[in-house]
Chains A and B, each alone.
Chain A
Amino acid sequence: MTAGPTAIDWTAVWARLSAARSATRRIEEERLDGLFRRRADHLARPPESAERPAGAIRALTARIGRERYALPVTQAGEVAPLGRWVPVPGWPPALLGVVNRRGVPCPVIDLHHLLNAGAPSGTAACAVALRRPVQGYAVRIDEVGEILDLDATAFTIPGGREPVSPLVAGVGPDGLILLDLNRLDAIPAFPILRDAPTPS
């Protein structure tokens, strides 16, 4: 004969449900209290010094393929989800196509191709609009990171060898690769882009 199911203690069940509802309310209140306290503390702190150390640059980190890159914010204009793009016949492989940016067609440069990062994986991606001298273009990244203050002098070319791409300005101690998007002019295929119809 098999043992029968354990009898349910309905009193304990009701007590557990009541405790769960109470805990939910308490956690919500504690979260709001914490948020308000952190906000007050932050506002109460003195303003940070405007002085930056020499050689420091502010950069936006991003993941392209399996590597992490840093894009100087002075070269980036806007980050937006990469929607559906339209390939343009006759354009080189480094250009994915054009996307609609607030009603304006914007060519998208495929950094996977320029950085030899392999084929992109997944559909979730972002487009980073660029500033001068290549204003009006955007580059495709797989995932956007955060904005960091970096020491530009810490980024070097390992062993003095030729980098995999002219866009690489240096490699940091933690493997972060600093890009210089102004060097797009140095890429042989890029003048073709310059000759392509530029967005107004």
Chain B
Amino acid sequence: MHPQARTIDGRPTRIANKLLLITIIFAITIAAIGMITVQTLREQEMAAAQADAMGRQRFLVVRYYVDVLHTSMGDPRDHEAVKRVFDSNLRSMIEGGPVQINLSTEATVMMPPAVTPGIAAKLREQREAADRFEAAVDRFLALPAAQRSDPALLADLARQRIAASTQADDAARMYSAYTQSRVQTSILIQIALGLAGLLAGGIAAWLISRSIVAPLQRCVAMAQGIIAGDLRQPPLPIRSNDEVGLLTATFNEMLEGLRGITSETRDYSARLATAVAEMSASIQEQAVGARQQAAAVQEITTTVEEIGQSAQQVSDMARDVGSSADTVAGAGVNGLQTVKDAASAMEAIRTQTESVAETIVALSERTQAIGEIIATVNEIAEQSNLLALNAAIEAADAGDQGRRFSVVANEIKSLADQAKDATRQVRSILEQTQKNISTSVMLTEEALKRATAGREKALAAEDVIRRMTENLQENSGSFQQVVGATGQQQIGLEQIAQGIQQIRQASMQTAASTDELAKAATNLNQLGEALTRLMEKYRL
């Protein structure tokens, strides 16, 4: 949104209004002062005209006196008209109304009622003096012409004139003093109003400029803090709805936005570092894989060549096998007869082995009988031993008479001991023989099983050889097809070799590209570290 179009609380925010307000305040102040001045000047002008009008009363008194003198001297003048103007003017001065200031043009000036009681009293005294002067004039004019030259009379008339003029001068002087005091009061009021207007305008201008400048200074301080990297500043207070308030709000939003951008940039820098590290690891793995792939392709190439050679050998061998298959088929017929003979021989072996087993069993039974005989002999030897002992005891008991009998008894005991030893040895041999017989029986049984299995295998081999012979005869033609197929296989292997060579070149290009990628990843990692350091300048 454009800043000039923004509004705060729905109202237009223009600082020009404030400046216009200052201008209006000063214009109103100046206009008021001008009007007061004009009014004062007009009042002064009116006061001057009124003072002049009041001063002209003395002129009318003198004019009236001159006209009276001219009339008395035979030059009649309309002194009454002058007297009427004088009276009219004096009445207007007391009660308010037009005052004639030019007898020729009959120009008038408006007079207010007597502005002060002193002036009113003075004007009334002036009217009384004028009345006395008019009465003196009337008396003077009523006299005959000869008597009008009486000096006392003239002196009295002159004295009445002077009194009326003096009253007119005093009234004019008082009015002038009054108007002068009014002018001074107006000047003082004008000065006071001017000073008040200047003071009010100055205060208004100071307040308005302060409401503009202080937020701007705070914005400047915030901008300087942001330049220094301090993003922890509190938001600025918004105290107006004009452009300055909008600017302050924008600064707050800008600070918040910078915090978010810096935080996100840091986060993105960390993610970038992690991603670059992972990418570097992947690139290294890819490089290793590319090299391994190239090596594997090389091995595959070698293997394909070997397969080609093997296919050639297979082709040759298939050709040889195909040629010898017929020979093998013929030999298979002979082998079939031989296997039949072997089966018959195995059957004979089985029969004879059964006979051997029966013979061995009979032999085992014989050894059992021998064991019984040995037991009998051993028992006899034991009894002979005891008998010899008893004989020796009896011989000993017989003393010298039994000495030779004692010798015989000892011989018998010796023989009995030898018989016991012999029977012990025979029993040992017999036990070993029985073990050997058991082993022989087991071996014979195994031989019998093998003979049976051999006969079954011979019969199975007979069947296999028969089918093999048939298959060999059927597959003799198939080997020729194998020869053709291996030829096509060789052509395919050559194509595979060319493709693998291309793959190898691509692998080498991939390895080179991977190195370039590794360098780019390193540069990107350095850029990420630089960005991280740059973002660490800003404190969140």
Do A and B bind? Answer: yes
Footprint of B on A, CB under 8 Å?
A: 39, 42, 47-48, 50, 58, 60, 73-74, 76-81, 126, 131, 144, 146-147
Q: Which residues of A contact B410 (CB under 8 A)?
A: 147
Instruction: Kindly identify which residue among A39, A48, A79, A81 contacts B393, using a CB–CB cutoff of 8 Å.
Output: A79
Q: Which residues of A contact B392 (CB under 8 A)?
A: 73, 147
Asked if B390 is an interface residue, CB under 8 A from chain A, the answer is yes
On whether the beta carbons of B386 and A60 are closer than 8 Å, the reply is no
* A119 CB, min distance to chain B CBs, angstroms: 24
Instruction: Kindly identify which residue among A42, A73, A80, A126 contacts B397, using a CB–CB cutoff of 8 Å.
Output: A73
The verdict on A79 contacting B396 (CB below 8 Å), with A48-B407, A50-B403 known, is no
Interface size counted on chain B using CB atoms at 8 A: 16
Q: Which of B397-425 contact A (CB under 8 A)?
A: 397, 400, 403-404, 407, 410-411, 413
On whether the beta carbons of A147 and B386 are closer than 8 Å, the reply is no
On whether the beta carbons of A147 and B411 are closer than 8 Å, the reply is no
The SS class assigned to the B binding surface is helix
* B136 CB, min distance to chain A CBs, angstroms: 189
Q: Mark B356-386, 1 if CB is under 8 A from A, else 0.
A: 0000000000000000000000000010011
Asked if B468 is an interface residue, CB under 8 A from chain A, the answer is no
The verdict on A147 contacting B393 (CB below 8 Å), with A48-B407, A79-B386, A80-B386 known, is yes
Q: Which residues of A contact B413 (CB under 8 A)?
A: 146
A77 to B398, CA, bound (A): 12
Q: Which residues of A contact B403 (CB under 8 A)?
A: 47-48, 50
On whether the beta carbons of B386 and A81 are closer than 8 Å, the reply is yes
Determine the residue in chain A with the shortest Cβ distance to B387. A79
11 A-B contacts (beta carbon < 8 Å)? A39-B411, A73-B392, A74-B396, A76-B393, A78-B393, A79-B386, A81-B386, A131-B397, A144-B385, A144-B386, A147-B392
On whether the beta carbons of B404 and A47 are closer than 8 Å, the reply is yes
Determine the residue in chain B with the shortest Cβ distance to A146. B413
* A198 CB, min distance to chain B CBs, angstroms: 21
* B253 CB, min distance to chain A CBs, angstroms: 91
Q: Which residues of B contact A74 (CB under 8 A)?
A: 396-397
Q: Which residues of B contact A131 (CB under 8 A)?
A: 397
Q: Which residues of A contact B404 (CB under 8 A)?
A: 47
Q: Which residues of B contact A146 (CB under 8 A)?
A: 389, 413
On whether the beta carbons of A144 and B397 are closer than 8 Å, the reply is no
